[in-house]
A = this chain, B = another copy of it.
Amino acid sequence: MSTEVSSGLQALEGDVFDTNCPSRGVLEHVTSRWGVLVLAALGERELRFGELHRRIGGVSQKMLAQTLRALAADGFVDRTVIPAAPPQVSYRLTATGEQVAVHVVGLVGWIEQNLPAILAARDVEPATR
């Protein structure tokens, strides 16, 4: 479809198995401890800082701000400041962000749904050891 080869010498795909490939960095932002949860939360709807903080259990303000900055730098999250009395800041996924979020939400959803089975399997199979 959109695969214009144009005149590009570059625009090659990434390879996460290569230590030096920049995709490693992106992958680590997305799959970081709080990155996954931020993407999953924003996948539901746009949220303000405080709402995100309350929604994601256990995250500190510092780490939330830091994670949001990293995701914004990669172009996954859009930050909007509403200049009000106490300045309100809203976060939403960009078009690109929504695409990653689809995968992240899929993964998270699968884990949530299959959690009972996973936990059950943990106890049973000492035989394999």
Contacts and interface: CB of A to CB of B under 8 A. Distances in A.
Nearest to A125: B75
Contacts of A108: 16, 27
Contacts of A74: 118, 121-122
Secondary structure type dominating chain A contacts: helix
Copies in the complex: 2
Given A16-B108, A33-B28, A37-B16, A99 B75 contact: no
Contacts of A113: 13-14
Interface of A: 10-23, 26-28, 30-33, 36-37, 40-41, 55-58, 72-75, 78-79, 96, 99-100, 103-104, 106-108, 110-119, 121-122, 125, 128
